[in-house]
């Protein structure tokens, strides 16, 4: 299945259930398939000088500089990772909850915790300043 076809199906499913969906990493594809927004990886984020022209813009962040840049560009939200050890970043210990809390304290954007998250991580994440958690393998 082509990526555009997959994205359209995923968007239709999200919309059918009253949810919005962002396309990861490709603003052109997000527009083409009618995405509600785009999620920009940190490498691409740091090259941007203006916010993508999408209704919703999310940024993947790994440090204070990434978070500050996302805020300066007017992004809607950020995902900060990895908080805990995760299979997607083998060998990295994660920043831990105290470092996460320090990075998001006073930050103007809603920040979601990513990396080693499970549904039961939500309460801990919120206590440390997260707006919520982003799950990949922890939910499947």
Backbone angles phi, psi at 120, to 5 degrees: -75, -5
Residue 83, domain member (yes or no): yes
CA distance 63 to 42: 10
Residue 86, domain member (yes or no): yes
CA distance 85 to 95: 9
Residue-wise pLDDT for 90-118, tens only, equals 888 899 999 999 999 999 999 999 999 99
Is the CB of residue 5 less than 8 Å from the CB of residue 34? no
Pairing, β 22-24 against β 37-40:
parallel
Count of the separate structural domains present in the chain: 1
Looking at the chain, how many residues does it have? Answer: 140
Give residue 69's pLDDT: 98
Backbone angles phi, psi at 114, to 5 degrees: -140, 150
Residue 6, domain member (yes or no): no
CA distance 97 to 78: 16
Residue-wise pLDDT for 11-49, tens only, equals 999 999 999 999 999 999 999 999 999 999 999 999 999
Domain membership of residue 38 as a residue range: 22-134
Q: Would you call 9 helix, strand, or coil by DSSP?
A: helix
| Torsion of the alpha carbons at 23, 24, 28 and 32, rounded to the nearest 10 | -20
Residue 9, domain member (yes or no): no
**Is this prediction's pTM over 0.75?**
yes
Residue 99, domain member (yes or no): yes
């Amino acid at each position: 299945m082509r990526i555009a076809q997959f994205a359209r199906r995923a968007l239709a499913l999200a919309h059918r259930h009253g949810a919005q969906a962002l396309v990861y990493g490709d603003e052109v594809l997000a527009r083409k398939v009618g995405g509600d927004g785009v999620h920009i990886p940190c490498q691409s984020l740091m090259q941007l000088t203006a916010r993508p022209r999408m209704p919703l813009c999310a940024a993947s962040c790994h440090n204070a500089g990434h978070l500050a840049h996302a805020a300066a560009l007017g992004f809607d939200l950020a995902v900060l990772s990895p908080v805990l050890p995760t299979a997607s970043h083998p060998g990295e210990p994660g920043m831990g909850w105290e470092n996460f809390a320090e990075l998001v304290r006073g930050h103007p954007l809603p920040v979601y915790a990513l990396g080693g998250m499970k549904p039961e991580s939500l309460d801990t994440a919120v206590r440390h300043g997260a707006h919520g958690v982003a799950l990949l393998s922890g939910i499947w």
